[in-house]
Chain A
Amino acid sequence: MWWRRTLSRSCRWCLGCRHSGAKRIWSFHYRALRSAPAVPAGRITALQALDIWKRHFEEEGVTEAEQSSQYIIAHLLGAKTIESVERQRLTEFLSKEKMEEVWQLCSRRLSRMPVQYIIEEWDFRDLTLKMRPPVFIPRPETEELVELVLTDLKSRSADTETRQTCLEVGCGSGAISLSLLKSLPQLEAFALDRSQDAVDLSRENALRLGLQDRLRVYHMDVIKDAERILGLFSSVSALVSNPPYLFSEDMASLEPEIFRFEDHAALDGGENGLTVIRQILTLASDFLLNSGRVYLEVDPRHPPLIQRWVEENVEGLQYVETQNDISGRPRFCILQKAVT
């Protein structure tokens, strides 16, 4: 269990986080760890609440102090960003109940819980997805991975008659598969994840977006359940994955938001970050149609390693290209099944 490992690294918060439910962790932090600012006796406006919490986060060394207070308070006012809250509402007094909610949610941030878990949702491309610990929170780079796959699938759908299908390994919240389904009304998707929490969350998100009919989610581990997986999928048009790709040695240097709250199995890719990637590439040509493609998000150090490894170890799979993310880092690998 991932949290046992973190526990052994003297992270006591996680215990509370996993077992005691939101209210109790909050009070736990409130008393024992970091204290929230006193709830004001009089009435205050949203703008004043934003300022109090921003300053408090700064004092307590919570990262992204301003954004955190803005996102949480905007969420409680029914908006996504503070910029989109009507200006009048910011200068109005908060009701007693609202103020209590602000204090309750902002206090959770003192434990370094990611904002996405506190407000229980986040946006990915044009979707709003439910977020729940410890399921991996999608990163902006993955929005670009989806863009890449979409462009490719769209251009390829022109010259095939058959219905396109895709398989996602390690679906987490379902962000990738659901985005593809949303943009390609003809596509069908299969997704698998080794964590039951992720499988549940993916299904829940699919249901909320009305995409459940075209997505099947399986609770499977790509390494342990390889045999079963091979029997299930064949002839898919695309294999997509944002696999765990961090080098194990880098895990310790992660920010507390990630280290304490996100599923380590979704992050830790083994000694050189390649454990899951190699497994996916080994199985890929069995899943794929002729000329079907693999799209991977990886660590910037990975592309040359992957290319060499595939050339030496995997028959029937060709390395097509490496694409950079918008910050110019080699981030995405595209491979293709040879025609047999």
Chain B
Amino acid sequence: MAHRRLVSHLRRGSEWITHFQKPHFTGSFVIKQLPDQYVRTQRLLHTGQPAMMMKLLSVDELFAKRSLQEHLKKLEKEYKECLQAVTYSATEDECSDDEKKAKRTKVSQLAPLIQSIQELDKKQKEMTETEMLLKDDDAALRELAELERESCSQDIQHLRQKVLELLIPEEEADMSDLVLEVTAGVGGQEAMLFTAEVFEMYEGFAQYHGWSFDTLERTSSDLGGLRHASASISGPQSYKKMKFEAGVHRVQRVPKTERQGRMHTSTMTVAVLPQPTEISFTINPKDLRIETKRASGAGGQHVNTTDSAVRIVHLPTGVVAECQQERSQLKNREKAMKALRAKLYSMKLEEETSKRHNQRKVQIGTRGRSEKIRTYNYAQDRITDHRISMTVHDVKSFLLGEELLNEMNSSLQEFSNQETLIELLEDSHPQEL
């Protein structure tokens, strides 16, 4: 079982989940422009605490928790109250329009969850009845009951899984597409070569999931590595999965450039910026300065240039995006704009999140981009994710960005979901933890 596969259980009194926090956004680039308290939060991450380790609970274990059962009851009660208020207050006119509207939203938000809870209750009653039949004297009936029980228990598993999924709130950015940025870190040419390999790995990962992968920017090194590159990725669940990839990736191997066969350790950084929709995030065109080769001189028919590179500066923040990937200047402008929007949007999210959570814990996905998340060790042919202490083997296949990367990515997501859930239960029933 995937849930069971992992990891030693580390528990420090009641603090054991205190370094987890909801994933809001991932890695970024403008720490210097953030409020002081954010920088302090960042420093907290480097106090030498071991990477988070916790046991992944099975669905049954979660449902055995009293806090979960109580939480579900509480939600059901809330739903009924809201439903009643919405249905009957039309005549009684007890609450204001705003309240009614809020309650209506609540009802539609909770509806799918409540429906699943009710189905689950029904199935559980069926199960109890079937189990009674198992004690019946009639052998044929008992056999039938046995079959019935099996299908019932399967349905219950599915419904429980569904309830858990519905309990985890969607993050604002989860529905977005994203901009991926890779930057070479420590290790010179070798780090740049590794950066190019990681960038290609994510291109493979996008292909594996049927997402589109559109390179926005590329700065190559002399040996064919990458100093820096970015790409726009879009498709269902793309941000939701990719956000777990942000952070520092470390490679340990004998570089091609090494003559004496010594092993080197190099790093590269992945940042994953949610791409806001046009409607949810607007930029005032007056705040932009667009720079092109054609800006000086007469332009138009007077000039024929093949240099179609575009650089856009957001004047209030000084954030810059560039693109020279395309032969059409307009296309370059669109791509640079995409990258710029993503940068500005994650700055905004980062600021909001740091205000809300600066006293709280840290979880997968929210770590600063200076956090080392994964090591690729060629000598041992293994990849280890330090956040969940998970190791898989076969670096070459992993770098294809297919099954192996997906497996690790899914484990990260499972962990993250469970943390969110436990945090949710802790918030609503603090006494129990």
Interface set of A (CB-CB < 8 Å, partner B): 47, 64, 67-68, 71, 80-81, 83-84, 87-88, 90-91, 114-116, 122-126, 136-137, 139-141, 143-144, 147, 242, 244-246, 250, 254-255, 257-258, 262, 266-267, 297, 299-300, 325-327, 329, 331
Contacts and interface: CB of A to CB of B under 8 A. Distances in A.
Contacts of B225: 87
Main secondary structure of the interface of A (DSSP, over half): mixed
Contacts of A325: 299-300
A331 B298 CA distance: 10
Contacts of B308: 140
A141 B300 contact: yes
B196 A64 contact: no
B300 A68 contact: no
Contacts of B279: none
A282 to B, nearest CB: 22
B224 interface: yes
A262 B304 contact: yes
B140 interface: no
A257 B304 contact: yes
Nearest to B219: A83
Contact of A115 (B218, B299, B306, B331): B306
Contacts of A83: 215, 218, 220, 324-325
In the complex, which of the residues B300, B326, B327, B329 has the most CB atoms of chain A within 10 Å of its own CB atom?
A: B300
A139 B305 CA distance: 8
Interface stretch (B54-62, B239-247, B289-297): B289-297
B224 A90 contact: yes
A83 B331 CA distance: 15
Contact of A124 (B196, B222, B304, B328): B328
A123 B300 contact: no
B301 A71 contact: no
Contacts of B299: 139, 141, 300, 325, 327, 329, 331
A263 to B, nearest CB: 11
Contact of A87 (B196, B295, B300, B306): B196
A44 to B, nearest CB: 15
A64 B226 CA distance: 24
20 contacts: A64-B307, A83-B215, A83-B324, A84-B215, A84-B325, A90-B224, A91-B224, A125-B330, A137-B304, A140-B294, A143-B330, A244-B301, A245-B301, A246-B301, A255-B304, A262-B304, A267-B301, A325-B299, A325-B300, A326-B290
B16 to A, nearest CB: 45
B101 to A, nearest CB: 31
Contacts of B224: 47, 87-88, 90-91
B333 A297 contact: no
B410 to A, nearest CB: 29
Contact of B223 (A80, A91, A331): A91
B330 A67 contact: no
A326 to B, nearest CB: 5
A81 B326 contact: yes
Q: Which 3 A-B pairs have the closest CB atoms?
A: A140-B329, A123-B327, A87-B224
Contacts of A297: 300
B90 interface: no
B306 A71 contact: yes
Contacts of A84: 215, 218, 325
Given A81-B325, A124-B328, A140 B292 contact: yes
A144 B327 CA distance: 15
B12 interface: no
Given A258-B304, A327-B294, 16 more contacts: A67-B307, A80-B327, A81-B325, A81-B327, A83-B218, A84-B325, A114-B304, A124-B328, A140-B328, A140-B329, A141-B299, A143-B328, A267-B301, A325-B300, A327-B290, A327-B292
Nearest to A331: B300
A126 B301 contact: no
A187 B314 CA distance: 37
B1 interface: no
Interface string B204-226: 00000000000100101011111
B303 interface: yes
A126 B304 contact: no
A122 to B, nearest CB: 6
B302 interface: yes
B220 A255 contact: no
A91 B330 CA distance: 31
Interface in B299-342: 299-308, 324-331, 333
A139 B303 contact: yes
B302 A250 contact: yes
Contact of A68 (B215, B301, B306): B306
Contacts of B303: 139, 255, 258
A174 to B, nearest CB: 15
A326 B328 contact: no
A143 B329 contact: yes
Contacts of B331: 123, 125-126
Contacts of B304: 114, 116, 137, 139, 255, 257-258, 262
Contacts of B327: 71, 80-81, 122-123
